[in-house]
């Protein structure tokens, strides 16, 4: 078993953990981050992608609202390439309480959240599909943010400042020496080897898995888990984020992301971080509520549904509260204070929008404990970015207009929905050793995420990758990728979505005879 030592070990490669490792590396600390899977596999890759203006929580959770508003301004400066400035609308439909907009408007003003009331004709000019019976409409500074791109930038930032990111490394156990945490036992899932890592401080940023980590350290964590289901519609039905102007509840947001519109979300208390099953009522409810904002939405084509799990701090006084009622604010728990266990910190809750602030508070505490006098600089340090680094459909279309394809074999289209070329795939395979399967390619290039949901591109990408990987993706890898896509389609499989799913299934099972024996027709 090999061994390693570091000043700070961060457990979890979601945006919270990556933000902490980035901040620590920028302050010159020796930091290692471990992630059991790939970045963005947890909640950080399973949300709406809304960069909150703060408006949503202005009345229900003012502390979170204030944090979101200030972090929104900062992220626009330091991570501008991952953000699309869609703007946001809060609108009052005939089903919403009439006294809410005025109370909400004054709460926003009180919290310095920029809001402007606009006329209904201006609203409809901007978003013609919105319900003409909406009575009031307000503009806010919501935006959409690509968390996969953000995560990639954070990894780059960590590595450029000497930090180490170990993907597919799972924490298996934590070793205590009396009242101090001293060592972590880690498994490299890709080859089954084990590693012992000693650190001055252990940071639990495992999101919905945070309680599993504290259990390894033999301390209790009051954590509640709330599952939220989301539905992606096959078109970008709005260009602006649209929120209902009422107390946050189920199905009250639509976020335009890339080529699709995302409807969110429900909030169902669950016990496990892997309880991601979607119930039919959740999809029905999201479509029905969406229809109040965009009449006729029910008849549009849903592309897929998925769920994410919110990790929410639930102190004893909120013991029986529903997860919807729990505050979205974050906590940085020093287990020396709460449980008498030294060298262990948990960072819980918050939003993707507030990940930088959570990291700043956590690393301030880390520096205090290590007696290091280094100030946080993440609010003014742009994340490293190279032009052309990201997958963006508009920039691909521009490129296509300038230089019509094909020029070479590299210009062969692999994914028609997201315009991914053979050359794009080869570039990623050559330059990113961490990419080991089709799902990694999906997160980098969006293959399989468009309207056909991997109907064609999965096989082409699999063939191209098999020329590159030292051990080519097995049929099992292809199977997992395709089935993961179908899993998301199944909850919304009716009408043309069902036709597309059946079409893809027949290509897979009949034409390519690629499914398990039992599923192949003769």
Is 269 exposed, middle or buried (CB count within 10 Å of its CB: 0-12, 13-18, 19+)? Answer: middle
Among 9, 31, 206, 326, binds ligand FAD (CB under 6 A): 206
Among 136, 152, 335, 351, binds ligand FAD (CB under 6 A): 351
Q: Rounded to the nearest whole angstrom, what is the least distance from the CB of residue 250 to ligand FAD in the complex?
A: 11
Q: Residue 316 is encoded by which pair of tokens?
A: 């004893």
Residues 89 and 53 sit within 8 Å (Cβ to Cβ): no
Q: What is the dihedral of CA 128, 132, 136, 139, to 10 degrees?
A: -10
Q: Rounded to the nearest whole angstrom, what is the least distance from the CB of residue 426 to ligand FAD in the complex?
A: 28
CB-based contacts of 392: which residues, under 8 Å, 6+ apart?
258
CA distance 200 to 282: 45
Residues 237 and 128 sit within 8 Å (Cβ to Cβ): no
Classify 7 as helix, strand or coil: strand
Among 9, 10, 12, 300, binds ligand FAD (CB under 6 A): 12
Which of these segments, 14-22, 112-120, 192-200, 425-433, binds ligand FAD (CB under 6 A)? Answer: 14-22
Beta strands, E only, 95-151: 116-118, 136-140, 143-145
Residues 145 and 352 sit within 8 Å (Cβ to Cβ): yes
Q: Rounded to the nearest whole angstrom, what is the least distance from the CB of residue 42 to ligand FAD in the complex?
A: 2
Query: Which 248-277 residues touch ligand FAD, going by CB under 6 A?
Result: 264-265
Give 35 or 361: the residue with its C-beta nearer to ligand FAD: 35
Among 20, 24, 29, 50, binds ligand FAD (CB under 6 A): 50
Q: Rounded to the nearest whole angstrom, what is the least distance from the CB of residue 39 to ligand FAD in the complex?
A: 7
105 binds ligand FAD (CB under 6 A): no
53 binds ligand FAD (CB under 6 A): no
Classify 126 as helix, strand or coil: helix
Give 154 or 429: the residue with its C-beta nearer to ligand FAD: 154
Query: Which 138-167 residues touch ligand FAD, going by CB under 6 A?
Result: none
54 binds ligand FAD (CB under 6 A): no
Q: Rounded to the nearest whole angstrom, what is the least distance from the CB of residue 189 to ligand FAD in the complex?
A: 9
How many residues sit close enough to ligand FAD to count as binding (CB under 6 A)? 38
Q: Rounded to the nearest whole angstrom, what is the least distance from the CB of residue 334 to ligand FAD in the complex?
A: 18
Among 27, 56, 310, 422, binds ligand FAD (CB under 6 A): 310
CA distance 454 to 333: 42
CB-based contacts of 464: which residues, under 8 Å, 6+ apart?
414, 422, 425, 426, 429
Which of these segments, 9-17, 372-380, 459-467, 483-491, binds ligand FAD (CB under 6 A)? Answer: 9-17
DSSP state, residue 247 = S
DSSP state, residue 208 = G
Beta pairing, strands 194-204 & 344-349: parallel
The number of CA neighbours under 13 Å toward the Cβ of 368 is 8
Query: Which 468-507 residues touch ligand FAD, going by CB under 6 A?
Result: none
Among 126, 168, 170, 490, binds ligand FAD (CB under 6 A): 170
- Footprint on this chain of ligand FAD (rule: CB under 6 A): 11-17, 34-37, 41-44, 47-50, 52, 170-171, 205-209, 228, 230, 264-265, 308-310, 350-353
């Amino acid at each position: 078993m090999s061994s390693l030592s570091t000043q700070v070990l961060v457990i979890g490669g979601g945006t919270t953990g990556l933000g902490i490792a980035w901040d620590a590396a920028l302050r010159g600390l020796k930091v290692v981050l471990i992630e059991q899977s790939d970045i963005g596999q947890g909640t950080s890759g399973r949300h709406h992608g809304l960069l909150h203006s703060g408006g949503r929580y202005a009345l229900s959770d003012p502390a979170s609202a204030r944090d979101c508003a200030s972090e929104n301004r900062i992220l626009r400066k330091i991570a501008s390439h991952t953000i699309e400035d869609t703007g946001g609308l809060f609108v009052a439909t005939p089903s919403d309480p009439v006294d809410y907009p005025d109370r909400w408007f004054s709460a926003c003003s009180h919290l310095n959240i920029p809001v402007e009331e606009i006329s209904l004709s201006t609203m409809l000019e901007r978003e013609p599909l919105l319900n003409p019976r909406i009575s009031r409409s307000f503009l806010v500074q919501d935006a959409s943010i690509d968390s996969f791109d953000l995560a990639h930038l954070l990894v780059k930032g960590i590595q450029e400042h000497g930090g180490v990111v170990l993907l597919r490394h799972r924490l298996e156990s934590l070793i205590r020496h009396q009242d101090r945490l001293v060592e972590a036992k880690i498994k490299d899932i890709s080859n089954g080897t084990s590693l012992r890592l000693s650190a001055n401080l252990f940071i639990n940023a495992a999101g919905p898995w945070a309680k599993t980590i504290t259990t390894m350290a033999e301390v209790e964590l009051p954590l509640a888990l709330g599952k939220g289901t989301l539905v992606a519609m096959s078109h970008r039905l709005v260009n602006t984020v649209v929120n209902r102007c009422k107390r946050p509840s189920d199905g009250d947001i639509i976020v335009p992301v890339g080529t699709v519109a995302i409807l969110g979300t429900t909030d169902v208390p669950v016990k496990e971080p892997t309880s991601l099953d979607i119930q039919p009522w959740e999809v029905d409810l999201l479509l029905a509520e969406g229809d109040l904002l965009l009449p006729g939405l029910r008849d549009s084509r849903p592309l897929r549904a998925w769920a994410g799990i919110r990790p929410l701090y639930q102190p004893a006084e909120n013991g029986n509260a529903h997860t919807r009622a729990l505050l979205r604010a974050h906590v940085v728990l020093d287990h020396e204070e709460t449980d008498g266990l030294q060298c262990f910190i948990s960072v819980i809750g918050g939003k993707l929008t507030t990940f930088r602030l959570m990291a700043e508070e956590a690393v301030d505490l880390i520096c205090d404990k290590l007696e290091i006098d280094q100030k946080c600089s993440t609010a003014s340090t742009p994340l490293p970015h190279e032009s052309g680094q990201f997958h963006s459909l508009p920039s691909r279309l521009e490129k296509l207009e300038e230089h019509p394809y094909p020029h070479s074999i590299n210009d062969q289209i692999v994914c028609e929905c997201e315009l991914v070329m053979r050359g794009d795939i080869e570039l990623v395979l050559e330059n990113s050793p961490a990419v080991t399967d089709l799902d990694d390619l999906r997160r980098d290039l969006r293959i399989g995420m468009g309207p056909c949901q991997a109907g064609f591109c999965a096989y082409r990408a699999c063939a191209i990758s098999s020329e590159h990987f030292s051990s080519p993706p097995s049929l099992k890898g292809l199977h997992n990728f395709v089935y993961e896509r179908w899993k998301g389609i199944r909850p919304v499989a009716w009408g043309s979505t069902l036709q597309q799913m059946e079409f893809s299934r027949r290509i897979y099972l009949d034409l390519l005879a690629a499914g398990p024996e039992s599923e192949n027709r003769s």
